[in-house]
Chains A and B, each alone.
Chain A
Amino acid sequence: MESVGSIIMYWIIALSIVIFSVLTVTTRKILRAATYLLFTLFATAALYFKLDYEFLGAVQIAVYAGGIVVLFVFSILLTTHPGDNSEKLASRKRLLGFSAALVTLVVTGYALISRCANVFTRLPEMSTPDMSRIGEVLMGTGYGELLLPFEAISVLLLACIIGGVVVARKR
């Protein structure tokens, strides 16, 4: 049996994920969409904290909320007038998008609820993975350890830096 505080925290996190995701895609001011995205990412980080992955929650806040959203806000201010509303959607286009999202929701939700409603009914016990363990898994070369993907990511980031400079520089 879970404590009342844990249940209240769960509902706050789940409701803010749902509400802010909907607001992100329905608001007509683009800067507000970026702000609602920030709140959605914070709620996701809170979900990671609740599931005992504290390092992952910290990374989510640092990289997403600290890096990507700032990048979004900068590029929005560079390319659009902040006060502008986006134009009203044609109803056909909106209907198309809405029905695609609804079909995805209904089909996947039905599959989930019919298959997964009664399995894994309680959170298994787990202590928070400590940093030395995370570091060993990330940098080790043994079975199931991830030095090669780590190096590949670093090369990818380097290529991304060079590509960004080349693409965005003034001719």
Chain B
Amino acid sequence: MGTIIWYLIPALVMFCCGVYGFMTRRNMIAMLISLELMLNAVDINFVVFNRYLYPGQLDGMMFTLFAIAIAAAETALAIAIIINIYRSAKNIDVRDVTRMKF
């Protein structure tokens, strides 16, 4: 149970769920949720490798900290764009967004 692989496998499964969701979902917010899953899986990998390879140092943890901050900024901006699209197209299906400017 202490081997590194036991921590990497759940992160891998989480990433693959994100890939599946990103390719099959049509709703933009659902695609964004899948994107968050993938980002989160990558964060877990940073932390686990930091913990096992360099237990005294904080580099991987800091990388995850900054990744969380950037994910928050990215989500806020993406949701602003989605709400703007909803205002002009009246739904948020990706197939309906074929023009950048209405």
A interface, CB within 8 angstroms of B: 2, 6-7, 10, 13-14, 17-18, 21-22, 24-25, 30, 33-34, 37, 40-41, 44, 47-48, 51-53, 55-56, 59-60, 63-64, 67-68, 71-72, 75-76, 78-80, 86-87, 89, 93-94, 96-98, 100-102, 104-105, 108-109, 112-113, 116-126, 129, 133-134, 137-138, 144, 146, 149, 153, 156-157, 160, 163-165, 167-168
Contact = CB atoms under 8 A, between A and B. Distances in A.
20 contacts: A17-B14, A18-B14, A21-B17, A25-B37, A30-B29, A37-B33, A47-B10, A51-B48, A56-B65, A63-B69, A93-B24, A101-B23, A102-B16, A112-B12, A117-B3, A124-B55, A126-B56, A163-B77, A165-B80, A167-B84
B3 A71 contact: no
Nearest to B13: A18
Contacts, number: 214
A78 B81 CA distance: 13
Contacts of A101: 16-17, 19-20, 23
B4 interface: yes
Interface magnitude class on chain B: 35 or more
B63 to A, nearest CB: 10
A132 to B, nearest CB: 12
Contact of B5 (A59, A112, A123, A153): A112
B1 A24 contact: no
A149 to B, nearest CB: 6
Nearest to B20: A101
Interface of B: 1-27, 29-30, 32-34, 36-37, 40, 43-44, 47-48, 51-53, 55-56, 58-59, 61-62, 64-66, 68-73, 75-77, 79-84, 86, 91-92
A160 B37 contact: no
